[in-house]
Structure 1
Amino acid sequence: MTSNSYDVIVAGVGAMGSAACWHLAKRGLKVLGLERFDLGHAMGSSHGLTRIIRIAYFEGSHYVPIVQRAHQLWQETGDEAGMKLLHVTGSLDLAPAGGGPVEASLQSCIDHGLVHEQLDARELARRFPGFQLPAGHIGLWQPDGGFVASEKAIYAHVGLAQSRGAEIRTNEPMLDWTPTAQGGVIVRTDRGTYSAGRLVITSGGWIADAVPALANNVATVRQAIGWFTTRRPELYRPDVFPVFILSADEGTFYGFPLYEHPGFKLGGPHFGREPMDPREDDRTPSPRQVELIRDCLARYLPDAAGEPLTLKGCVYSVTPDEDFIIDAVPGVPQAVFASACSGHGFKFASAIGEILANLSTSGQSAFDLKPFSLDRFAA
């Protein structure tokens, strides 16, 4: 092999790509990871200290086996890296009775035998006084949920990959790539040209640049997150307050206990995401999004509804059905990709990295990936 020749190139070293680099490198493969920005940057969707991991999954029971594997891998990866990545706080799905999300999460618990409890508004108020919910709201409590330390997860995966010989090059985006007649790929950046037997594409909001077949099925949007001054921080410590998804009149929001920041973190509204071009440098949340977040806090979490301390935007790639796409590039089996995770993908990253490594080396996965195929949009 020449110095510019690899077994696998990974384009995009965020949540998914860093995990893929680790799973490929620990198999003894020569791996190159290319990242367009700094490691752990705030231009995509993997920053912001924390990401929720929910085992009860209202988006569909077919996700549960993958997120269970991810939960296991986050613990194992953290142990191997000497970093605490997985924080188990329990998770709550909160919505008006009959609204759908709580019932769908309940069904995923029943389908997979997950430990859970259904809670009415009175019991929610007793256990979690940080909330102030309407009488008609109900909750589904699942004790295995929690959060993953997001930037630390990327650093852990990259550090482990490098310890097994992977090369990680930051501020060097893939400009283009072409398949070769021999069944490999050629990748070009502004610093050089590289060859590999396989290519893994995990470039998030930029995925359609590398996989043009996605152009009609992936939209790029901005999502807002903020950390707010908390009047009673004792109500929101990780030992007493869970991660949660809240469906309310203002939209669907997600929140966390306090962690490494003095403010209370809330993101959303999920269905208030605004289209954007990821090539724009500005990631500032819109005033409309911030206003909706503040309205949600004032109404449902009043003790966390102080002035904003930090406001950030995330770039999400979203499919029409909001399910993932994990597949091979059409007509090019040596190039596989995972993206368009529609704002709920980070929790799966440890397992999707393993899936991509398996697809790259054997073309097989232990999971049923049919729900995530690109050709579902062809009908």
Structure 2
Amino acid sequence: MKHQFVIIGGGINGCAAAWLLAAAGEDVLLLEAGEIASGASGGFGRRGVRGNRRDLREMPLMRAAYRIWPTLADQLGAETGYERTGGMSLIEQETTGTKGGLVAADAQAAVQRGLGVPTEVLGRDRVLALEPGVGPEVRAALYCPLDGSADHTATTRAYAAAAEARGATVKEHSAVTAVERSEGRATAVRTAQGQRYEIGQALLVLNNTGAVDLLRDQFDVHLPVWRILPQALRVTPKAAPPMSHLIGHDHRSLSLKALPDGGVMVSGGWRGRWNADLGRGEPIEANVQGNLRAAAEVYAGLADARLDIAETSQPESCSADEIPIIDRIPGTENALVGTGWTGHGFAIAPAVAEALTFWARTGARPDSLAPFSFDRF
């Protein structure tokens, strides 16, 4: 069977690309090794939709994502859980390394504003007016009113359902094991079940952590990307969630999101470890306690919260410079790859999909994707 566009990966990037291509009238096949949103795009809780403290090379994509998110649920015909709550990066120290602290706040805010991310520096009094539960060590914050969060699992599944409604074919439990090539073009893929699908126009390899092995084995392309196991905790405070904004921190490994059911999602850079016997990630108790301690030190209202979930089973891809690789696969003229999202690809995924599908249809790389090429390594 032949399809004009074949997409590998049923996470948010693959499903968003499938929907956009199908909505444009293209013939699309999406192949997912497991189930839709079963990898990094799945799991409990919410993901941040933030421009605050984002890598500057991603800011044009974030600016585009700000435009897309507010109306995305209406376009997909399903809930995404998106809320524009505003976001704060809390500051406690005068200096934090070479990039943070109070000394850098005004400059950081100005740069972000110049790149299309509205940002202001709030002193302690204004922080307390918006977040009265923060601890006494918080001195200021970088505030981005357009930031917020969304339900990543719901959003990914909404994209997939909308793609199918527009005529895309979505096949789960269809791991791609081989890519056929001829004269510099990807011509077909084969799955573990023995199916063969011909590629008419373009192949999009968007299976996150799986892209590394696939490019190595099928294209002899070695990416500076590896797998990490982000830790996400769900806690239930004794009272209501003590924060109302998307919360990050200038020097602590901490991210906080209030959940609709009264819980709080606690994360921020802590990791789990791989259990080879179980074939999945598992929490490290010291990291769980460290994350909880950081949350309680900033919000006393979380000090006696009940730990409900400690999750580290959703692998993520991390690149050497902590921004994604989005490029044409070397040695091909019709195969594109996106990987190395490093834990902050969800917010920009709608904009990445717009740019990537434009590239796949026209052959012309959008300027917004130029910073993410292989050439930077």
Q: Report the TM-score, using the length of structure 1 for normalisation.
A: 0.88
- In the alignment, structure 1 residue 111 sits paired with structure 2 residue 114: yes
Counterpart for residue 343 of structure 1? 343
Return the alpha-carbon distance in structure 1 between the equivalents of residues 41 and 254 of structure 2.
16
1:178 shift after superposition: 2.2
1:16-165 equivalence runs, <5 A:
16-41=13-38, 43-60=39-56, 62-85=57-80, 86-95=82-91, 96-99=93-96, 100-101=99-100, 103=105, 105-112=108-115, 114-135=117-138, 137-165=139-167
Structure 2: distance between partners of 1:363 and 1:279: 44
Stretch deviating more after TM superposition (30-39 or 204-213)? 204-213
Whichever residue aligns with residue 12 of structure 1, its letter is G
* Higher mean C-alpha deviation, range 126-135 or range 321-330: 126-135
SS of corresponding position for 1:178: strand
CA contact (8 A) 1:200 1:337 kept: yes
Partners of 1:133 and 1:284 in 2: CA distance:
34
Would you say 1:207 and 2:202 are equivalent positions?
A: no
Q: Distance in 1 between matches of 2:277 and 2:29?
A: 24
TM-score, normalising length: structure 2: 0.89
Work out the CA distance in 1 between the residues paired with 2:108 and 2:49: 13
SS of aligned partner of 1:333: coil
Give the aligned partner of residue 373 of structure 2. 373
1:141 deviation in Å? 0.8
In 2, the alpha carbon distance for the partners of 1:285 and 1:274 equals 5
> Structure 2 CA distance, aligned partners of 1:231 and 1:214?
51
> For the structure 1 residues 216 and 182, does the alpha-carbon distance in structure 2 shift closer, same or farther, using more than 3 Å as the test?
closer
Q: Residue deviations 1:347-372, cap 9 Å, x none?
A: 11111111221111112244332321
Q: Distance between the aligned counterparts of 2:166 and 2:300, measured in 1?
A: 48
CA distance in 2, matches of 1:18, 1:216: 23
Q: CA RMSD in A?
A: 2.3
For the 8 Å contact 1:244–1:255, the answer to whether it is kept is yes
Answer whether contact 1:285 1:311 (CA < 8 A) is retained. yes
Note the alpha carbon deviations across 1:164-202, whole angstroms, 9 max, x for none.
110101111111212233834210102211111211011
Looking at structure 2, the residues matched to 308 and 243 of structure 1 have their Cα atoms a distance apart, in angstroms, of 20
Kept in 2: contact 1:121–1:133 (CA 8 A): no
Contact 1:125-1:132 at 8 Å conserved across structures: no
Matches within 5 A, 1:243-254: 243-248=246-251, 251-254=252-255
- 1:328 — aligned with what? 328
Name 1:308's counterpart in structure 2. Answer: 307
1:58–1:108: 8 Å Cα contact kept in structure 2? no
Question: Match of 1:332, SS?
Answer: coil
Asked if structure 2 preserves the Cα contact closer than 8 Å seen for 1:94 and 1:246, the reply is yes
Q: C-alpha distance in 1, partners of 2:77/2:241?
A: 28
The Cα of 1:106 is off from its aligned counterpart by: 1.2
Alpha-carbon contact 1:91-1:142 (below 8 Å) kept: yes
1:107-153 CA-to-partner distances (Å, cap 9, x unmatched) read 43232354332112343233202321515x42111111101221111
- CA apart distance, 1:214: 5.7
* Count of matched residue pairs: 362
Could you tell me how far 1:74 is from its partner in structure 2?
Answer: 2.4
Give ranges in structure 2 of 5+ residues lacking alignment: none
User: Structure 2: how far apart are the matches of 1:92 and 1:165?
Assistant: 41
Tell me, in whole angstroms, the C-alpha distance in 1 between the residues paired with 2:55 and 2:273. 22
Alignment of 1:134-283 (within 5 A): 134-135=137-138, 137-181=139-183, 183-191=185-193, 192-197=195-200, 198-212=202-216, 215-233=222-240, 235-236=242-243, 241-248=244-251, 251-259=252-260, 261-268=261-268, 270=269, 272-273=270-271, 276=274, 281-283=279-281
SS in 2 for 1:175: strand
1:45 Cα deviation after fit:
4.4
Work out the CA distance in 2 between the residues paired with 1:278 and 1:44. Answer: 19
For residues 277 and 284 of structure 1, do their structure 2 counterparts lie closer, same or farther at Cα, with a shift above 3 Å needed?
closer
Instruction: Sort the Cα spacing of 1:224 and 1:235 in 2 relative to 1 into closer, same or farther, 3 A.
Output: same
Give percent identity, aligned residues only: 22
Distance 1:25 1:280, change over 3 A: farther
Structure 1: which 5+ runs fail to align? none
Judging changes above 3 Å, is the alpha-carbon distance between structure 1 residues 281 and 75 closer, same or farther for their aligned structure 2 residues?
farther
Judging changes above 3 Å, is the alpha-carbon distance between structure 1 residues 356 and 37 closer, same or farther for their aligned structure 2 residues?
same
Task: Write the deviation string for residues 17-37 of structure 1: whole angstroms up to 9, x where unpaired.
Answer: 100101111111111111111
